[in-house]
Structure 1
Amino acid sequence: MIYGPTLLFALGEGAIIPLIPVIAAKLGADVATAALVASALVIGQLAGNLPAGWAVARLGERITMAIAGTIAIVGAVAMALAPSLGVFALSVLLIGFCAAAFGLARHSFMTTRVPLAYRARALSLLGGTFRLGMFVGPFVAAALLAIFGDERAAMWFFAACLVATISLVLFGPDPEAEFAAPPRLALPSNDVEDTGEVVTGSIPTMERVGVFRTMWRYRRLLSRLGLAAASLSAVRSARQVVLPLWGVSIGLDAQTIALVVGISGAIDFALFYASGQVMDRFGRLWAALPAMLLMSGGFIALAFTHDLDQSAMWFAMFAAVLGVGNGLSSGILLTLGADVAPAQNPAPFLGSWRTLTDAGGAFAPLLVSAIAALSTLAVATGAMGAIGVLGAFAFARWVPRFVPRPRSGGANE
């Protein structure tokens, strides 16, 4: 009931993502317009985080997920039946908006229900569940294409996944009722405002604060640790853009590029739980800092290999390095957001947190394109490595220093 809905949603979304540009092109879009339509998914998710924070705080995780799933079904059906490019693009935007609500609802649930002693492992597993769906989804889409010969079959598959998701959420056991929220550790920080509210037992007496007031209250934390998290999201997103472009620029064929990118993704997926183990046992920084240094170092080193004789070998090697770094960062953004979120009403804060991280992911491909257009792809790749180095310094400065005790669930400063 906790991981199943996330897997179903990610599986359906992973099936439609590779086909969005294909269907857009069939509806009359050129290459640039098709790319813009595909980016509507990210734009919708970015725009949906703040409203999702409001909805989760007011309606609860379960109702928010049910509403988001229902609206997403409308979007999936509209994508399958879209008569024009404009309707199709708006449907993609709507799916992204609902994905934000769905993701934030589950993030908020895990933040309030999972004990601190194994929070990172639980959230890394949540991130791994999403990655599994996104990894398997394209293969499902390929199978549907082979069977039906129509790209829109994947849209109907997504709608079926959404129906199953809503059924689980509404008619299955309610995790919110079964799992009481454990006592939360208050991290000492000058960034978090102490309201002085008294909590008796497990019943909060804390004021429910709106999204924008929460953003203002935690502006210092969001402008420091939040920007560090955004830099990690940017480096992750740049990896997905740079690797295929790099393979094309050094003259590799499509099959070789797909193989290298696929191996990098497999390494990434294989390490998702290791990240949670490291964070729970040794602290968040022990996963965040190596991940950032590996990815930034991989980008910087790759930038110097474009014209070498063995450029294909270096490409494969540093793609694997980026996969290791990305795998070690699995669940970090979810875990750090949960660590610093307000104990009693985390949803508005998490909406702001996820907006920052999604903005970093959305900004990176645009930055890579702009720098590559003005200079070269190698310079753009090195620039992303430099952003990673700055992000590593920011993590080293702002990540809260504590190590949970597995037995007691407490923490050491």
Structure 2
Amino acid sequence: MPRTLQHPNRAQRTRSRKRRRRRPLSRKEAPGPGVVRVLALSVYLPTLLAEIGVGATLPLFALSALALGEPAAVASIAVAVYSAGRMAGSALGGVGATRRGPVPTTFAAYAVLASGAALSATAVHVSVLALGVAIIGIGHGGVHVARQAHIDAVAPLRIRARSLTTLAGIWRIGNFVGPFVGAAIIFASGLPAAYVFAASMVCLGILCLVFTAPRHLSIPRSQRPHVRVAEVLKPQMGVLSTLGIGVLLMGALRQARVVVIPLWAVHIGMSDSGASLVFGLATAIDMAMFIPAGYVMDRFGRVWTAVPSAIALGAGAAMLPMTSSPGQVAVAALIIGCGHGWGSGVVMTLGADAAPEKGKAVFLGAWSILQDAGGLLGPVIVAAGAAIALPLGFFAVGGVGVATAGTLYRFTPRWRLPDSSRA
């Protein structure tokens, strides 16, 4: 059931604010010295470098399968394999961040991610491509959970949403720059070269992390906790089975966008580089929205970004079968980009809000698995429709958008930080 924060009347609220201003912020609420600098150097900068590389590969999973002679349905499954890998990576990342700390887990996940990109570059058969894409998903899922755990350990409560949406914004910047660079590399050297570029950028992110990572976020062997996953998740089954369903459906919508844009672009006769370019344009508007989205979440509540995001993602996907030119595809892609950008960081923030103190990284891993399970479902929906008629899968994604909006509206807590904790 949603948690509703009861507000006092205006006079009571004014007196309450005056009292709160006199109360010093708690350790968890206060930002502390150098928090922004620590986040910028040890989280945002390495993430940006790596995500530019990952962003170059996201529209390539389906295109690589098509280039190997596979039909559209198999190309959609290639994206589903990435989501399956992310589920495994999220689980491993949650356990790793709890037992070893966020920083060592990030190093390991980046190494896995780079190896997957290198393997995908050598793929001459769809089975090798699927293995490489799965390894990319494992590494990427582990990185996401470890980065969230890092921010949770450093950022104060009153800037939680903005810190997490900034992380999501960094991912979006990578997804914006990456496809443009990838399109240029594909035009000059072919699809495999884009995977090589991705592996190189991830290695650059590792190098950056070597010099900027705070050592206190690595847990010594003698102090590593033994947290049982069942002990963490069993008391949280209520939220996982209600709000978690909305997160799963949101994951389906988000990952479907990686499939529907390039598939429809190729369907109407656009080139591989043109499809990558349209995907990059969609991420341009996506990238621009994470700052206002974070402010709205901290100021007005999470539901104000979650529900509109789901509606726009579904509407854009349902519009694509009605397009027949590159310009029309770009318009539908921009609507999808608006929806994805407005929901920047909302899943992570909802997870951080709901996570228990004990075993928080394990819970965040499970939360990410729900989103990744949805990510696995999204391409499967498109593939099932494509086996009958390609537009059918796109309309099904539109229906998922409606279901997602309704679920998130019903179960997202009507919750905001107290006035004294807002920035």
Place the TM-score, normalised by the shorter chain, in its bin: 0.7 to 0.9
- Displacement of 1:161: 2.2
After TM superposition, list the pairs within 5 Å mapping 1:246-325 onto structure 2.
Answer: 262-297=280-315, 302=319, 306=322, 318-325=332-339
Amino acid in the other structure paired with 1:5? P
Are the counterparts in 2 of residues 225 and 394 from structure 1 also a CA contact under 8 Å?
yes
Aligned residues: percent identity? Answer: 36
How far apart, in 2, do the equivalents of 1:140 and 1:162 lie? 15
Per the alignment, residue 238 of structure 2 pairs with 220
After TM superposition, list the pairs within 5 Å mapping 1:9-20 onto structure 2.
Answer: 9-20=50-61
Per the alignment, residue 410 of structure 2 pairs with 397
Per the alignment, residue 43 of structure 1 pairs with 84
Deviations 1:360-399 (A, max 9, x none): 122112113323544672x544433332222222222221
Deviates more, 1:105-114 or 1:58-67: 105-114
How far apart, in 2, do the equivalents of 1:252 and 1:81 lie? 27
The yes-or-no answer on 1:167 pairing with 2:207 is yes
| Structure-1-length-normalised TM-score | 0.77
SS of 1:400 mapped into structure 2: coil
How far apart, in 1, do the equivalents of 2:277 and 2:56 lie? 19
Deviates more, 1:112-121 or 1:344-353: 112-121
Are the counterparts in 2 of residues 118 and 406 from structure 1 also a CA contact under 8 Å?
no
What's the Cα RMSD here? Answer: 3.6
- Displacement of 1:108: 1.4
Structure 1 residues 8, 256: closer, same or farther in 2, change over 3 A? closer
Deviates more, 1:109-118 or 1:332-341: 109-118
Per the alignment, residue 182 of structure 2 pairs with 141
The yes-or-no answer on 1:65 pairing with 2:106 is yes
The yes-or-no answer on 1:155 pairing with 2:195 is yes
Per the alignment, residue 98 of structure 1 pairs with 139
Are the counterparts in 2 of residues 109 and 176 from structure 1 also a CA contact under 8 Å?
no
SS of 1:218 mapped into structure 2: helix
Structure 1 residues 406, 102: closer, same or farther in 2, change over 3 A? farther
SS of 1:401 mapped into structure 2: coil
How far apart, in 1, do the equivalents of 2:100 and 2:369 lie? 20
How far apart, in 1, do the equivalents of 2:231 and 2:259 lie? 36
- Displacement of 1:17: 3.8
Structure 1 residues 299, 159: closer, same or farther in 2, change over 3 A? closer
The yes-or-no answer on 1:347 pairing with 2:361 is yes
List gaps (5 residues or longer) in structure 2.
Answer: 1-41
- Displacement of 1:401: 1.9
How far apart, in 2, do the equivalents of 1:83 and 1:72 lie? 20
SS of 2:356 mapped into structure 1: coil
Amino acid in the other structure paired with 1:108? A
Deviations 1:24-80 (A, max 9, x none): 677776766555445432221122221221111111101111122233344344444
How far apart, in 2, do the equivalents of 1:25 and 1:391 lie? 30
- Displacement of 1:88: 4.5
Structure 1 residues 212, 321: closer, same or farther in 2, change over 3 A? same
Task: Count matched residues.
Answer: 377
Per the alignment, residue 388 of structure 1 pairs with 401
Are the counterparts in 2 of residues 112 and 343 from structure 1 also a CA contact under 8 Å?
no
How far apart, in 1, do the equivalents of 2:208 and 2:274 lie? 40
After TM superposition, list the pairs within 5 Å mapping 1:167-246 onto structure 2.
Answer: 167-174=207-214, 176=216, 209-244=227-262
How far apart, in 2, do the equivalents of 1:260 and 1:142 lie? 10
- Displacement of 1:261: 5.2
Per the alignment, residue 198 of structure 1 pairs with none
Structure 1 residues 312, 69: closer, same or farther in 2, change over 3 A? closer
The yes-or-no answer on 1:363 pairing with 2:404 is no
- Displacement of 1:12: 1.6
Per the alignment, residue 5 of structure 1 pairs with 46
How far apart, in 1, do the equivalents of 2:254 and 2:270 lie? 24
How far apart, in 2, do the equivalents of 1:260 and 1:168 lie? 30
Are the counterparts in 2 of residues 211 and 352 from structure 1 also a CA contact under 8 Å?
no
Per the alignment, residue 75 of structure 1 pairs with 116
Identify, as 1 or 2, the structure richer in helix. Answer: 2
- Displacement of 1:354: 0.6
SS of 2:43 mapped into structure 1: coil
User: Equivalent of 1:131, from 172, 181, 195?
Assistant: 172
Are the counterparts in 1 of residues 121 and 195 from structure 2 also a CA contact under 8 Å?
yes
Per the alignment, residue 119 of structure 1 pairs with 160
Amino acid in the other structure paired with 1:140? V
How far apart, in 1, do the equivalents of 2:118 and 2:328 lie? 44
| Structure-2-length-normalised TM-score | 0.76
List gaps (5 residues or longer) in structure 1.
Answer: 179-204
